[in-house]
Amino acid sequence: MRVLSVASEFYPLIKTGGLADVAGALPAALETQGVEVASLLPYYPAVKAQVPSGRSVHSFPDLFGAPARLLRARLGTLDLFLLDAPHLYDRPGGPYESETGAPWRDNARRFAALGLAARALGLGKVSAYPRPDIVHAHDWQAGLAPAYLALAGEVRPKTVMTVHNLAFQGQYPATLLSELGLPPTAYSTDGVEHYGAIGFLKAGLYYADKITTVSPSYAQEIQTTEGGMGLHGLLSGRSADLSGIVNGIDTAAWDPQTDPNLAARFSARSLSRRMANKNAVRERLLLMQDNSPMFVVITRLAWQKGVDVLIDALPQLVASGAQIAVLGAGDAALEAALMGAMGEHPGRVGVQLGYDESFAHLLQGGGDGLIVPSRFEPCGLTQLYALRYGAVPIVARTGGLADTVIDANKAAVDDGVATGFTFAPMTADALVDAVQRALTLQAKPYLWRALQRRGMSRRLSWAARAPDYAALYRGLVGAG
Ligand code: ADP
């Protein structure tokens, strides 16, 4: 079985969120299932810096204004196709935005180009790469891949569209239709049209043979008016083809026994060593070194993540005796509000702004708990890392958070199945209530340690998830 995975992000080469982790980790995990994966991604400067060369295997004489080519390269055991189109990708700034945070004006062309490259590979037009069995597109940036393949009118691979976050849809003006190489007939509800525009994600969801998302609960939520973000009609209509598979984590990169980012490494049998990490966090964020529990937050600063609600809850959390340590980057207003909160609660609330992978590890290794107050959460990775690191997750009861954390209500504690705390609705009061329940349990160290150890024993690796994707692929190919 051969699969072409198409995504705009790929850990460790280029990452803005969980999508990168999935696209980077799934290929190796699928190998053990007898699935051979090649990954297609844009040749961003960050990718080029880490994979400086490749074999040129295909050329596009004119890919939206200039020539481009496909490079094939290896990264360890991984098989990569890099879309080298300097006029589209070779620029400073992020993959989607300039350094000032403005979306690149040619994003429609930049990611249509990714779709066209996927079409060339998917139809077997690239030398030494016969037609794969499956093309697996991730998120809106790859959304045109299933559309281009379906519209090509040739024998084509089966297609899978995975939604990592329905909030990002890639909507572009209908006037681009012919420039993007889409036929006029495709501009329809039964096609790429979405609310008077070309919807990249919509196109993928419409044309793909199967749709997956990153947790069973999110797969349900996106079929509802509240959670469907304008796509619930299409998604509920395709419910027979839609399933949810929870993300795995990279258990080698996230291993508290070997993690070089930690002040002290530890295992489920040496949880007291976590204290050195807690103190290292406190030192860095100028938090008081006392007996208080410390809850950590690691997040993009965006509406989705509920950081505004966390900020509302801070006075009560601090009054409960907790310390809060936040690592976040994003929205300027939320950044300012967090800095303000730190000033109001010196020694009790600590904030580091910016993206800092290494500090994220230290926080997981030192926090007594991790708070995730998301308004919606397709899967969420931070709570999975927290489980592995013995930071008890306290999460909003939504999407993948609800699927991966078992609330420590009395029955679950008695049965020995609880792994954290969940709360709903997503309000400051409910969040505070959940933290207070955590504080109550923490006062009984043997129960708290049992909770930590149970989380640490969960099978969270991609090896545990890959069989689900392999089964999906096999079902699709076997279906003929
Ligand atoms: P999303 O993809 O919506 O941002 P996830 O929980 O699925 O949310 O994945 C977030 C990933 O990004 C995790 O690997 C998390 O550790 C990391 N992360 C988020 N914010 C930061 C930050 N400020 N610094 C370092 N890592 C971060």
pLDDT in tens, 48-85: 999 999 999 999 999 999 999 999 999 999 999 999 99
Distance between CA atoms of residues 98 and 338, nearest Å: 25
11: number of Cβ within 10 Å: 17
User: What residue type is assigned to position 4 of the chain?
Assistant: L
Pocket of ligand 1 (CB under 6 A): 17-18, 21, 165, 298-300, 327-329, 355-357, 360, 379-382
Give the model confidence (pLDDT) of 315-338 as tens digits. Answer: 999 999 999 999 999 999 999 999
The rounded Å distance from CA 355 to ligand 1 centre is 9
Confidence of residue 18 (pLDDT cuts 50, 70, 90): confident
The rounded Å distance from CA 450 to ligand 1 centre is 27
The rounded Å distance from CA 374 to ligand 1 centre is 12
pLDDT above 90 (res 479): no
Q: Whose CA is nearest to atom 20 of ligand 1?
A: 299
pTM: 0.93
236, with CB counted inside 10 A (0-12, 13-18, 19+), is middle
Confidence of residue 17 (pLDDT cuts 50, 70, 90): confident
Ligand 1 atom nearest to 379, measured from its CA: 7
Two structure tokens written together for 404: 């991966």
Q: What is the pLDDT of residue 480?
A: 52
Give the model confidence (pLDDT) of 255-267 as tens digits. Answer: 999 999 999 999 9
Q: What does pLDDT average to over the chain? A: 97
Mean pLDDT of 140-163: 98
* 321 backbone φψ class: left, alpha, beta (φ>0; ψ -120 to 50): left
- Write the CA distances from 22 to 11, 57, 246, 336, integer angstroms: 8, 26, 10, 31
